[in-house]
A and B are shown apart, each in its own frame.
Chain A
Amino acid sequence: MNAPAQHPPAVRTTCPYCGVGCGVLAKPDSHGGAVIAGDPEHPANFGRLCSKGSALGETLGPETRLLHPMVQSGGALVRTSWDHALDRVANGFARTAREHGPDSVAFYLSGQLLSEDYYVANKLMKGFIGTANVDTNSRLCMASSVAGHRRAFGADTVPGCYADLDRADLIVLVGSNAAWCHPVLYQRMMANKRERGAKLIVIDPRRTATAEEADLFLAVAPGMDTALFCGLLVHLSETQAFDFAYIDVHTTGFAEALTRAQDIAPDVKKTATLTGLATADVARFFEMFTSTPKVVTCYSQGVNQSAQGTDKVTSIINCHLATGRIGRAGMGPFSLTGQPNAMGGREVGGLANQLAAHMTFGHESVDRVGRFWNAKAMARREGLKAVDMFDAISRGEIKALWVMATNPAVSLPRAGHVRAALEKLDLLVISDNVAGNDTVRANAHVLLPAAAWGEKDGTVTNSERRISRQRAFLPLPGEAKPDWWIVTQVARRMGFAEAFAYQSAADVFREHAALSAFENHGTRAFDIGGLASLSDDEFDGLKPVQWPARTATPHEDSRFFAEGGFFTPDGKARMIAPEMPRPHAALSPEFPFRLNTGRIRDQWHTMTRTGLSPKLGGHLPEPFVEVHPDDAMQAGLVAGGFARVTSPYGSCVLKVIISEGQRCGSLFAPIHWSGETASSARIGELVTPATDPYSGQPEAKATPATIEPVAFKYRGFALSRGRLSLPEPTWWARAAVARGQGLLLASNDTPEAWRAISASMFAGTEIAEFVDAIGDIYRMAAFADGRLVGCLFVGPSGNAPQWDVVKSLFEAEAVGETQRRGMLSGKSTDGIADPGPVVCACFGVGLNTICNALADGTAANVESIGKALRAGTNCGSCLPELKKLVSQRSVDHVRAAQAV
């Protein structure tokens, strides 16, 4: 009897993708990966996971990891020791701040960081180096929500919780493709719709997957959400749907807000005109909102990523405040955050316009935090927000930058400008877990290997203010270290050892929790003082917990503001009058389209993680631009062809998808592709640097642009075990495939040229080829030791080779002979019998065919083989071999008979 195999228990952790913050059960397997399942006990997802979360196990491989510190030396990055690397960072930042002042250095952080990582970085910069030049990629994601919350509520506080989505009778999704971007929450909404009959309204310029299930879809004109909600406020007024008791007691600014709304959108008709919607649809929306008390308005990047983002948030919040529909079960405005720890970053103050623990740069707060930290060099004013920060780098004002866990050379507006700016830095430090991305390639001086998801340990906060543990279930690979440790080591080397004496993430968390409660007395919403004295064991075992957590046992599903209690000096909410909405830049004959950017279902950010998953890569493997059929016809675009999209800042070449769901006059392109994953699809390159005046969030969804067709004569694909590079000016997109990688390509190089290119790409292998010069087709497969190691198929664009069959052979690696013979056809050989080596040359009869005939009794001797298969009946040269087969067969029979 064997003892039962010892399986390590599954570790409870949190998904590293969107802001839903789903609980994950991760069970390490024996090959360095993990089996992933949803955590049935986590209140965000109750066991459900989306496609990205489910594929986490495929993204843990070591192939792309940065495994040891590296420094630039003689123009190249070379391996070095932690000691040396940390010294270089500490000395570099100290010297730069000393010589050029503290504002000459900056950190650019990420919603991927854990709260503990965020906390120490923020503390080092704002308390000890003495500048607030700490910003984060969350700026690109939800800064307008933060600004909108703070303006209205006096604090960056999400009033409701996920349970409201289960209990609402009407859910309004504004600028949110939740079906793809927050799939688990979307499923909760769908369950509510199914089980309770809740209605769904989707407001989005683009008919996304989310709109499929909507009871009402409003294809609002880009940037005109504010007009719609102003119209709604006016309608609420006219139908006497206001809750004057709430307005009177708990808000100020009502009259101004309503007057402004009336100026902007005095009636349904005007609202319809401004928003480009049918009057009846607008009226129906107003009526549904007005008549349904339990309404949750969720908003996401479509609202936030705008030069009027804060006003959009404001106009939504105004409608909820005016109806008192806030902080009560099934009601409220609800910001759905993009990143796993955008909320945690906001909590620690990881934005340039926040200090720490939801405190701002008021004199009192600076003093308070300074005392708590025992910091002598407190930053006293806001630092530079992301776009401004990179402009300051470009102007040479910021000379040293530390980028943690993000890829600004891809994701920021005018990404090309950002890349050029990075190259001007005296010191560019990058801590990340990947060895190569576009930012790393922009002149990094020091690379620090950071722990990745599955290795790091700490906390994250999701969209409903729920703090969950992210736990390690894998050992740290190579010399990788957690970010909090790295920052702490640098801080110590800069002379701040006492203030950075942390030995663990738990140490950091306790201090963070204590600061949230420090001199709080209920004046600040963010208070997790109840968790400040968790023991290490209690921290390890911490269950998901919502803030506020003033005591160690806070409420489940807490809500804010049902009874007022705003975090303004007078405790009242501010109803703000929004500006007349208009996109920042006007369209012109040169740039007549609005370029909208966004995500797709199965990729995350710049694909450094999701790009590793073959499963996820299969959904939409090529970077694309979505175009309305009328626009496509006018511009001469064909479905499946290519187009160059150009803005004043740059251009990309993308595959064309023609879709009725796309708004006429608008283009949509995903944000995920980078210089690492595609030849010409870094869409950030095109995005306008215009930002919201309050939040500093870039207008990522309304850049004026133009589109023109690009013709490639040939298309194809390549598969390889290792990394392949294709010659300029090939158009390519990288896609993950199992046991290697795939490139989809388009080119004007002839198949004959590709023959030469592939010969050098796969030099030293055995090459099988298919050449049809007149048909303009070239296909090749490379083998080493009988195993398929790569291939390249090129053919005319009109008849582009499909890679499905070849890809599955490539992923299987060991290729059977029949499969190999048929492989370059690109078609499946399933069901085609393998005749085996030819025995009868005249009739092409194979060994297997003959043996089968002998085995199944079709033939018993040379003569009957001839009758059945014709083998041996012409020249007769194979007759001796047939005789041998027949006698061999009889011997086998006898043996088999004896064996029985």
Chain B
Amino acid sequence: MSEPLVIIGNGMAAAKLVEELNARALGRYAVCVIGDEPRLAYNRVLLSSVLAREVSRGDIELKAAGWWRAHGVTLLYGHRAVSIDADIRRVKLANGATLPFGKLVLATGSKAIRLNVPGMDMPGVITFRDLADVASMEQAAKTHRRAAVIGGGLLGLEAAYGLAKAGMQVSVIHLMDRLMERQLDARASAMLKSAVEAKGIEVHLNAETAAIKGPHRAEKVLLKGGGEIAADLVVVAAGIRANSDLAATAGLTINRGIAVDDHMQSSKADIYAIGECAEHRGTCYGLVEPAYEQARVLAGHLAGQNAAYQGSVLATNLKVSGVNVYSAGDFIGAPGTENIVLSDPGLGSYKKLVLKDGKLAGAVLFGDTADGLWYSELIRLGTPVAAMRGDLIFGRALAERSLPKAESPKPLPPKDMAA
């Protein structure tokens, strides 16, 4: 008899887990996936592309309905889990039903943080997390002209890009002195700002939202220290917080997210958490790649394999507003590191490598990111790079060619990421 495995959350991490389980432990578990969004799991990364009408809604589905059926997964989408009884191993749904589990995986993701300023709950103020948000934004774009996005991180810029593409006049309001400050250094940020502005998006840096005003619905954003930005639609993308309310009902240890060990197990046996809701070694990740790594590790663990998650090298490898950006490791450059910089504004390209003790410690790439993965591997493996220091920044092909044959490092082992 198959052991009942319940996965709460029907997002990208959950879909990856199911896929990995099927590859490793087919038939061992009777899998049930519960998701509160009323649709099949989709690729959240592409929401802005949907908004920008670059792809259709159907295109972003991760797996077709038939796939789930064919793999014997019970799919309960449009259902919200409301509590967990860890002792009796039951999950209670909003409709009153309870589901028993042998193993439980929380993949509840995260939710957008709403700012604690007046007017946040006014009509016309939304967050950007799911397809429903996309629908509201599309609706707003039809009837209104001006949008303000609060938050100049990845999500905010993606929302701004989508809204601009949908025909709105968009302003980005960012608290910090540069965009995507956690992923990019100052120069890459400045280039990104230019690229964003070239798309017709206004960028306000060092701008803190004081309030959202309007008699009936949002009409403008007031900034601290004066100044206001007219906006009929305000998208709040100022950060996320792990969805851990449900986990709390089970009495799990929760810090910034659901605390998990290297097997992705929470403070209680047989209850696991992966993706943005999980906190591993003090870190909550907000990107898809760590979520996938966690899903793979958990699948291995559940399949009885010796799998452990060591944390992810934080590599950002993204397309923002149509521009490829990449960063990894210590890309700012702590004291004691050395920088190598290559820039070509004509190609829209900027690269910075940070070296420490003859090894690559970090990298930021703007525009030309083709070698990002290679740099990530060099950082992860701690490969000595002194012999190719001069050519390293010109990419793998050139750098490795300039090495004497005997010194060429072995080809990097491909990371097992294939679906």
Residues of A within 8 A of B (CB): 766-775, 777, 781, 783, 786, 817, 820-822, 824-825, 827, 829, 832-833, 835, 838, 841-844, 846, 866-867, 870, 873-877, 879-880, 883
Contact = CB atoms under 8 A, between A and B. Distances in A.
B45 A817 contact: no
Contacts of B418: 866-867, 870, 873
A869 to B, nearest CB: 11
A733 B22 CA distance: 70
Contact of A775 (B49, B340, B371, B394): B340
Given A771-B341, A841-B317, A832 B324 contact: no
Given A817-B347, A841-B324, A883-B59, A873 B417 contact: yes
Q: Is the interface of B mostly helix, strand, loop or mixed?
A: mixed
B46 interface: yes
B343 A768 contact: yes
17 contacts: A768-B346, A769-B341, A770-B340, A771-B339, A772-B338, A772-B340, A772-B341, A820-B346, A822-B395, A825-B391, A841-B317, A842-B317, A844-B371, A846-B370, A870-B417, A876-B62, A880-B46
A825 B402 CA distance: 10
Nearest to B389: A775
B345 A841 contact: no
A542 to B, nearest CB: 58
Contacts of A843: 373
Given A772-B340, A820-B347, A841 B369 contact: yes
Interface in B299-333: 317-319, 324, 326
Contacts of A825: 390-391, 394, 398
Nearest to A863: B419
A516 B370 CA distance: 79
A820 B349 CA distance: 11
A842 B373 contact: yes
B344 interface: yes
Nearest to A786: B346
A883 B326 CA distance: 24
Contacts of A777: 390
A865 B319 CA distance: 20
Contacts of B338: 772-775
Contacts of A781: 344
B340 A783 contact: no
A867 B414 CA distance: 12
Nearest to B373: A844
B133 interface: no
A877 to B, nearest CB: 5
Interface of B: 43, 45-46, 49, 54-55, 59-60, 62, 288-289, 292, 317-319, 324, 326, 338-347, 349, 368-374, 389-391, 393-395, 397-398, 401-402, 414, 417-419
Contacts of B288: 874-875
Contacts of A829: 398
A875 B419 contact: no
B395 to A, nearest CB: 7
Nearest to A880: B55
Given A766-B345, A820-B344, A841-B324, 13 more contacts: A769-B341, A769-B343, A771-B341, A775-B389, A821-B394, A822-B398, A824-B342, A838-B368, A841-B369, A842-B317, A844-B374, A846-B370, A876-B45
A873 B391 contact: no
Residue of A768, A774, A838, A879 contacting most chain B CB atoms (<10 Å): A838
A134 to B, nearest CB: 58
B320 to A, nearest CB: 10
B372 A844 contact: yes
Contacts of B317: 841-842
Given A833-B397, A876-B45, A841 B390 contact: no
Contacts of A774: 338-339
Given A821-B395, A846-B370, A880 B59 contact: yes
Nearest to B43: A876
A34 to B, nearest CB: 37
Given A772-B340, A841-B317, A841-B372, A880 B419 contact: no
B400 to A, nearest CB: 10
Nearest to A878: B319
Contacts of A773: 338-339
A846 B369 CA distance: 10
A832 B288 CA distance: 32
Contacts of B59: 879-880, 883
A351 to B, nearest CB: 58
Contacts of A877: 43, 45-46, 49, 319
B346 A783 contact: yes
A774 B54 CA distance: 44
Contacts of A822: 394-395, 398
Given A769-B342, A880-B59, A832 B371 contact: no
A766 B343 contact: no
Nearest to A799: B390
Contacts of A827: 391, 394, 398, 402
A770 B372 contact: no
Query: Sorted from nearest, which 6 A-B pairs have the closest CB atoms?
Result: A768-B344, A880-B55, A774-B338, A844-B370, A825-B394, A771-B341
A874 B390 contact: no
A770 B342 contact: yes
A821 B368 contact: yes
A873 B319 CA distance: 16
Nearest to A771: B341
Nearest to B54: A880
A775 B370 contact: no
A766 B46 CA distance: 34
Contacts of B389: 772, 775
Contact of B347 (A821, A842, A866, A873): A821
Nearest to B291: A875
Contacts of A783: 346
B340 A771 contact: yes
B163 to A, nearest CB: 19
A775 B345 CA distance: 23
A875 B318 CA distance: 10
Given A777-B390, A821-B395, A875-B43, A767 B345 contact: yes
Residue of B317, B369, B401, B417 contacting most chain A CB atoms (<10 Å): B317
B292 A841 contact: no
A773 B355 CA distance: 12
Nearest to A801: B390
Contact of A770 (B55, B292, B393, B401): B393
A766 B319 CA distance: 25
Contacts of B43: 875-877, 879
B330 to A, nearest CB: 15
Contacts of B401: 832
Contacts of A842: 289, 317, 373, 417
Nearest to A883: B59
Contacts of B368: 821, 838
A772 B354 CA distance: 10
B347 A841 contact: no
Given A768-B347, A825-B398, A775 B46 contact: no
B394 A873 contact: no
Contacts of A880: 46, 49, 54-55, 59-60
Contacts of B344: 768-769, 781, 820-821
Contacts of B397: 832-833
B215 to A, nearest CB: 40
Contacts of A876: 43, 45-46, 62
A873 to B, nearest CB: 5
A883 B46 CA distance: 14
Contacts of B394: 821-822, 824-825, 827
A843 B59 CA distance: 21
Contacts of B402: 827
B315 to A, nearest CB: 9
Contacts of A866: 418-419
B126 to A, nearest CB: 23
Contact of B369 (A820, A844, A874): A844
